[in-house]
Structure 1
Amino acid sequence: MISKRGIIVWISAFVTFLAIMASFSMAVLLVNEGAGAIVTPYILGNIAGALSVEIYLWMSITFTFIFLGITCILIYLKQPPDPEIVKLLLKVGGNLAALRKTQENSITEIAEQIEYGRKINQKFFSTVSSDLKEDKKETMEILANHRKAFKKVRTDLISTIETKATETGEKMSADLKKQETVMLGVKRLSEEGTTDLKNQRAELEEIKLRLERIEGNMVPNQANLKSLDNPEDIKGIGPALGKELRTLGVTSVGDFLTTDPSVIGEKTRISKEMAENLQASAQLMMIPGVDSNDAELLIESGIKSRKELAAHELIQLSRRVGEIAKIYVDQGKISKEDYPTIEEISAWIRNAR
């Protein structure tokens, strides 16, 4: 419920507000109308009549401060305490006192429990520390004994190893000296054997050459190409050209030699000149001792038939063939082993006749 004091405070505050508004209104009017303006208030006009703006402004300000002071005095004036509130506060105070006492008792119990636990822990840790010290002492003694034993074993082991190593080294040194002596003897025998082997190999090579010469003189050389061989056996004729030659009826080396080179050049992929060179190569390869490389050397020397080879002088032909063979060796067409000797060229001429 709203008390009388509250109603009076609200009325005083409202009147203060009206006085403030009147002061503000007069200040605005003073600024707009200027000094000396006459105004008739709504309430005071019936009593005081018309007033100047300055007087009304000062009156409004005075009433504002008066009513503002009254309002403040009413607000801050000490009131008698409410019995209900006093009872409530006393009850709360009693509860707080009981709660404080309960908390103090709880704190005391907790402190006692903590102290008891601290004593128990202190006793436990004291016992553990004592046990650890004893165990540490025993462990250190055991480690010291083990260290002494290990040191003794290590010393004995090192001594034994050194003794064995010395004995083994001396024995190995003696064995190495013996082996060195044996190796020197073996090396000497090996060198002597190597010399003997070289001499024997040279003798065997000489005997082999003699046998080959004797065999060459006793056994006539066979021709590398015969008339009944296939045309493909001629160097320079492959499967494709051989097939074309067979369509012309050329099935053997003899047929190839007797066929007109003009016909071969006209009916096959090769020219007439190529056909003539192939026929010359085939004719020369039919001479015993002349292979494809030899035939090529002879053709390059200007010899294309058996008759021409038989008519040549040995030294002159050897010189010409040797010059061409040297060029072929430099170009890699033939190897040094295929380089014809004078004896071989002499055999060619002899067999061609």
Structure 2
Amino acid sequence: MVSKRGIIVWIFIFVTFLSIMSSFVMANLLTNNGADYVINPYIIGDLVGALNVETYLWIFITTSFIFLGITCTIIYLRQPPDPEIIKLFLKVGGNLAALKRTQEASTTELAEQMQYSRKVNQKFFSQVSTDLKESNKEALDLLVAQKRAIRKVSSDMVSVIEKKTGEIGDKISGDLKRQEATINGVKRQSQESATSIKEQRSELEEIKLKLERIEGSIAANQSSLKSVDNPEDIKGIGPALGKELRILGIASVGDFLITDPEVIGEKTRVSQEMAENLQAMAQLLMIPGVDSSDAELLVEAGIKSRKELADHDLILLSKKVGEIAKIYVDQGKISKEEYPTMEEISSWIRVAR
């Protein structure tokens, strides 16, 4: 006949086993996915909620020791004699000596069971500790290897960038020196003969076009924004708005530009007017040479697209942007070094065309 005490012991043993197995699962998830990996276990997740795997690992380890302690405590407690057995012995005329021997035998058997359980638990937790140490060592070795690989890739990338930058700089320097030599030659020719002025002007125009092409080639590599970039790269779009845009299927700057601003105004936290300004900001940032401060000044000056910038008069636009930039400098929004010059504005218009 199974006693209530035995049933309770087996229940706590089963719960302890489940908690230990859950600890192994959490340790495996921690090793494979990292400490910040968020899970929502069945039943426990409904009570506690979604937490990171490291928190659940400590929860299950703690509960394992708690239930193990309760189980051992129940086993160690001295089991009272069964009243039914006492009644049976009294009824059939049993004596106290027989009852005492029965209790001693039960106590001895219980002590043997406790000793056996203690050995099993010690062996089990020793194995668990060994497995955890091996898993932690493997995870640490993997992280060290990844760190070394990332450091090597970063070093190689920096070397390549420095090499390419040096080559481009040398090439540009050589081109500029050649152009300077050509200009000096033109000047000498202009001093020698007045009849060659027209030819010199033609050559100067060609040189100017070459310089503009070189400038455009250099500026083409300095675009602040590309169509494949994330919407959050646009000044004014933070993580919260970026999340709302992705829900609408807007995953890149290109998607953002072709989406109706009215739809963005209805489905997100920004108004239609704000959406139009952000789209204008994105268009202008895609023009080589225009950074976020420049784009903000152009939007404030009424430039809402690349076409509007290309169609604008240099003098009028320089006047508008200069007035706004002066206010921004006084307010501390931009520094004096960020104040756009007429040459920079001319470069924006030329590249936009």
TM bucket normalised to smaller: 0.3 to 0.5
Computing the radius of gyration over CA atoms, which structure comes out larger, 1 or 2?
1
TM-score, normalised relative to structure 2 = 0.39
